[in-house]
């Protein structure tokens, strides 16, 4: 594997999930694989889980890890070609990415969307420039439109905890105070559409995700209807795809409470974290037995380790 940016980079999703679950049982079985190999984790935006879980995964495989908080410690990057760099950008991404590729065997990049120019975000301009210029395999640590390591961890979690062969999984929109990217819900939808689950998306009118990510999903504006008989409920806010990046008022209350879970099949509640308590998701749910958000975050290690193992095997 030379690129991990979406579910489309994975030939057999179920095999990768099984690999991750094997690694969870025996984390140090491949400690020699990463010997004398280095991964650079490059963050253009903040992170807790992605940073720590990917570091842990690389260490479990015996790799060396370098972390660069590009947004705080790196030079400001120019992305455009054919511009005179007489503004705030100090270094062009062509040189920056190519130089990183001299120091690392694998580069992993986090870059959020600007939420202003849909074409720029959905063409993954920043992430794709890293891929184009660094010259080594690249892992997405969340890009403008997808968060594949999160989605793989989510699928690992559902596979581990499901009580029936084909569980009902619901992705529900939740309230927030600011416009958030569509990367997590896009990605979750894309992975669920490839998994053996019954998948429903519930969102208010005006918050439809881009159709490219939701083919095969049932989509409804009725959260109550969607929750009926659900086994897993994935809670997440996102801003509108159309008009892009905007937040329009929602009259109904979309925050989940224990009362709303009564019609589910004893559903487990998921969220990628960080979560704003009592805005996106109620404290009573987060503090209760239905929440599996910490378990889910723990599985980020095995998702990252399975992907890095595939990449290391490809390095030879
Ligand atoms: N879920 C997730 O990616 O968390 P971080 O932003 O803290 O990495």
270 CA → ligand 1 middle, Å: 14
Task: Kindly list the structural domains of the chain, giving each domain's residue range(s) and its CATH number in brackets, ordered by start.
Answer: 3-146+300-315 (3.40.50.1370), 148-297 (3.40.50.1370)
Q: Which residues pair with 64 in a beta bridge?
A: 38
From the list 252, 183, 194, the residue with the least C-alpha distance to 223 is: 252
Distance 308 CA to ligand 1 centre (A): 18
pLDDT score for 171: 98
Distance (Å) from CA 263 to ligand 1 centroid: 30
CA 236 to centroid of ligand 1, rounded, Å:
13
Residue partners of 8: CB distance under 8 A and separation at least 6: none
Q: How many CB atoms lie within 10 A of CB 99?
A: 12
Nearest residue by C-alpha to atom 1 in ligand 1: 272
Q: Tell me the average pLDDT of the chain.
A: 97
| Count helices and strands in the chain by DSSP H and E runs | 12, 12
Alpha helices for 193-289 (secondary structure H): 223-227, 283-286
The atom of ligand 1 lying closest to the CA of 297 is 1
State how far the Cα of 225 lies from the Cα of 228, in Å rounded to an integer. 6
- CA 184 to ligand 1 center in whole angstroms: 10
Rg (CA), the chain: 20
Q: Tell me how far apart the alpha carbons of residues 188 and 311 are, in angstroms, rounded to a whole number.
A: 22
pLDDT tens-place string over residues 83-118: 999 999 999 999 999 999 999 999 999 999 999 999
Distance from Cα 47 to the centre of ligand 1, integer Å: 5
Closest atom of ligand 1 to 142 CA is 3
Q: Ligand 1 center to residue 87 CA distance, Å?
A: 31
DSSP 281: B
3-state helix, strand, coil in the chain (%, to 5): 40, 15, 45
Which residue minimizes the CA distance to atom 3 of ligand 1? Answer: 50
Question: How far is it, in rounded angstroms, from Cα 84 to Cα 132?
Answer: 21
Q: What are the backbone dihedrals phi and psi of residue 236, each rounded to the nearest 5 degrees, phi first?
A: -165, 140
How confident is the model over 196-247, as pLDDT tens digits? 999 999 999 999 999 999 999 999 999 999 999 999 999 999 999 999 999 9
Pocket of ligand 1 (CB under 6 A): 47-50, 142, 150, 272-274
Confidence of residue 71 (pLDDT cuts 50, 70, 90): confident
- At 153 the pLDDT is 99
d(CA 139, CA 58): 12
Q: Which atom of ligand 1 is nearest to the CA of 51?
A: 8
Question: Of 272, 299, 303, which is best to mutate to test ligand 1, by the most ligand atoms within 8 angstroms of its C-beta?
Answer: 272
Please state the pTM of the whole predicted model: 0.98
Alpha carbon nearest to ligand 1 atom 4, residue: 49
Q: Report the nearest-CA residue for atom 6 of ligand 1.
A: 47
């Amino acid at each position: 594997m030379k690129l991990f940016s979406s579910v489309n980079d994975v030939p057999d999703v179920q095999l990768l999930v099984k690999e991750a679950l094997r690694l969870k049982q025996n984390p140090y079985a491949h400690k020699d694989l990463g010997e004398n190999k280095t991964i650079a984790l490059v963050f253009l935006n903040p992170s807790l889980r992605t940073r720590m879980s990917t570091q842990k995964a690389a260490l479990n495989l015996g790799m060396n890890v370098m972390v660069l908080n590009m947004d705080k410690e790196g030079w400001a990057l120019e992305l455009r070609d054919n511009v005179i760099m007489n503004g705030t950008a100090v270094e062009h991404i062509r040189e920056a990415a190519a130089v990183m590729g001299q120091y690392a065997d694998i580069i992993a990049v986090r870059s959020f969307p600007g939420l202003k120019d849909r074409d720029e975000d959905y063409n993954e301009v920043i992430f794709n420039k890293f891929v184009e210029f660094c010259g080594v395999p690249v892992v997405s640590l969340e890009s403008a439109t997808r968060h594949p390591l999160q989605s793989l961890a989510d699928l690992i979690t559902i596979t581990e905890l499901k009580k029936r062969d084909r569980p009902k999984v619901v992705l529900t929109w939740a309230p927030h105070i600011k416009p958030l990217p569509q990367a997590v819900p896009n990605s979750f939808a894309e992975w669920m559409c490839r998994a053996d689950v019954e998948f429903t998306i519930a969102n208010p009118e005006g918050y439809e995700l881009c159709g490219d990510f939701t083919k095969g999903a049932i989509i409804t504006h009725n959260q109550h209807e969607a929750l009926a008989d659900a086994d897993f409920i994935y809670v997440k806010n996102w801003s509108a795809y159309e008009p892009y990046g905007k937040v329009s008022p929602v009259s109904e209350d979309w925050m989940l409470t224990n009362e709303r879970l009564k019609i589910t099949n004893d559903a487990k509640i998921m969220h990628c974290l960080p979560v704003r308590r009592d805005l996106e998701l109620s404290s009573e749910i987060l503090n209760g037995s239905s929440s599996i958000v910490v378990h889910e975050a723990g599985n980020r290690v095995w998702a990252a380790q399975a992907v890095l193992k595939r990449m290391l095997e490809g390095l030879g």
